[in-house]
Amino acid sequence: MTESIDLEHLGLEGAIAVYVLADGEAALVDPGPSTTLERLRAELGRLGIGPGDLRHILLTHVHLDHAGATGHLMDEYPRATVHVHADGAPHMVDPTRLVASTRRTFGDAHDRLWGEVRPVPAHRIRAWSVGDADPVAHVRPIPTPGHIAHHLAYLDERDGTLFSGDSMGIVLSDEAPSHPPTPPPSVDLEAWGHTLDEIVAVGPERFGATHFGLHGDVPDRARQMREKLEALEDRVRTALGRGDLEDAERYDGEVRDELAPFLGRAEADGYFDMFRAATDWAGVKFYLEHNP
């Protein structure tokens, strides 16, 4: 049984989701940032998951909107093990560089958005690598690089749900177009194309995006993501060729305008005030400058 929790980040509904696997040993996928801990605790309690019940925290990757609360949960849920790609595990043990990188991206808004980040004790982490056993019965990790190199998705083989993190993009409603989350400095557009091929080949019945919700149109959404990534790459390459850095802000405004009819203007602006499309533009710029 899969339950979803809307963390209502900064009061905004439909922005960050946590997925809870309540059959067998209780597990959750991506606990979100520490600024939403109160909501997460309350919702886990509502689902009957107490301090001794949570056994697994599955991280798709270490970005703070996905993993920032993890260290806080270690004392509260003493039986929980954190599962993360081996390349991301050191950032959970010592988040100093991770927080510094995030501060460079979000500036003065960092603490308001993501809150305090605490380290995870090394002995509470199970670092996963290709070829390792599955971390939870019936849940298979799938390497999905692109958004970041150590990104994982998790396939619940009981019902075909793929917990996709950011690998399938931002899908804020069933009707809204997909949006590519490509912040600097770790996006890899070539790897992301291979990831989308792999996801379609795996053939999940549906996917659960952290941003936001469960969706069943996997091949179509993978196609949309590919087209969006390619279009953004072409756009940024062209803008850089003419020295037009102001295109980042134009792109941000166009993305808001594109999604507003599906979400409402206030909701679209609320989401992209937190996760600015101009930052996604900058991530592709960084990628192109380092992969000429």
Residue 9, classed as helix, strand or coil, is: helix
Residue 42 phi, psi (nearest 5):
-65, -40
Report the chain's mean pLDDT, rounded to a whole number.
96
Q: What is the share, in percent, of the chain residues with pLDDT greater than 70?
A: 100
Are both 1-129 and 138-292 of the same fold? yes
DSSP 203: -
Count the neighbouring beta carbons within 10 Å of the beta carbon of residue 78.
11
Q: What is the dihedral of CA 237, 276, 103, 7, to 10 degrees?
A: -140
User: What pLDDT is stored for residue 85 in this prediction?
Assistant: 98
Listed by start position, the domains of the chain span 1-129, 138-292
Examine the pLDDT at 174 and tell me if it is beyond 80: yes
User: What pLDDT is stored for residue 1 in this prediction?
Assistant: 75
Across 280-285, average pLDDT: 98
User: What pLDDT is stored for residue 24 in this prediction?
Assistant: 81
Closest by CA position to 32, among listed 10, 16, 8: 16
Examine the pLDDT at 234 and tell me if it is beyond 90: yes
Tens of pLDDT, residues 108-156: 999 999 999 999 999 999 999 999 999 998 999 999 999 999 999 999 9
Examine the pLDDT at 2 and tell me if it is beyond 80: yes
Please tell us whether the domain made up of 138-292 is placed in CATH 3.60.15.10. Answer: yes
Confidence of residue 78 (pLDDT cuts 50, 70, 90): very high
- CATH fold, domain 1-129, is Metallo-beta-lactamase; Chain A (3.60.15)
Closest by CA position to 77, among listed 44, 47, 46: 44
Closest by CA position to 155, among listed 199, 220, 99: 199
Q: Which two structure tokens, joined as six digits, stand for 42?
A: 């309350």
Strands 139-143 and 152-156: antiparallel
Q: Which two structure tokens, joined as six digits, stand for 44?
A: 């886990």
- Tell me the DSSP string of 65-106: HHHTTHHHHHHHSTT-EEEEETTTHHHHH--HHHHHHHHHHH
Rg of the chain over all Cα atoms, to the nearest angstrom: 18
Strands 81-85 and 125-128: parallel
CA–CA separation, 22 vs 54, rounded Å?
9
Across 57-61, average pLDDT: 98
Q: Which two structure tokens, joined as six digits, stand for 71?
A: 């260290």
User: What pLDDT is stored for residue 222 in this prediction?
Assistant: 98
Confidence of residue 292 (pLDDT cuts 50, 70, 90): confident
Per the CB < 8 A criterion, the answer to whether 181 and 170 are in contact is yes
Q: Which two structure tokens, joined as six digits, stand for 241?
A: 């060729």
Count the neighbouring beta carbons within 10 Å of the beta carbon of residue 275.
18
pTM (two decimals): 0.96
CA–CA separation, 17 vs 7, rounded Å?
6
CA–CA separation, 135 vs 128, rounded Å?
8
User: What pLDDT is stored for residue 22 in this prediction?
Assistant: 85
Q: What is the share, in percent, of the chain residues with pLDDT greater than 90?
A: 95
User: What pLDDT is stored for residue 73 in this prediction?
Assistant: 98
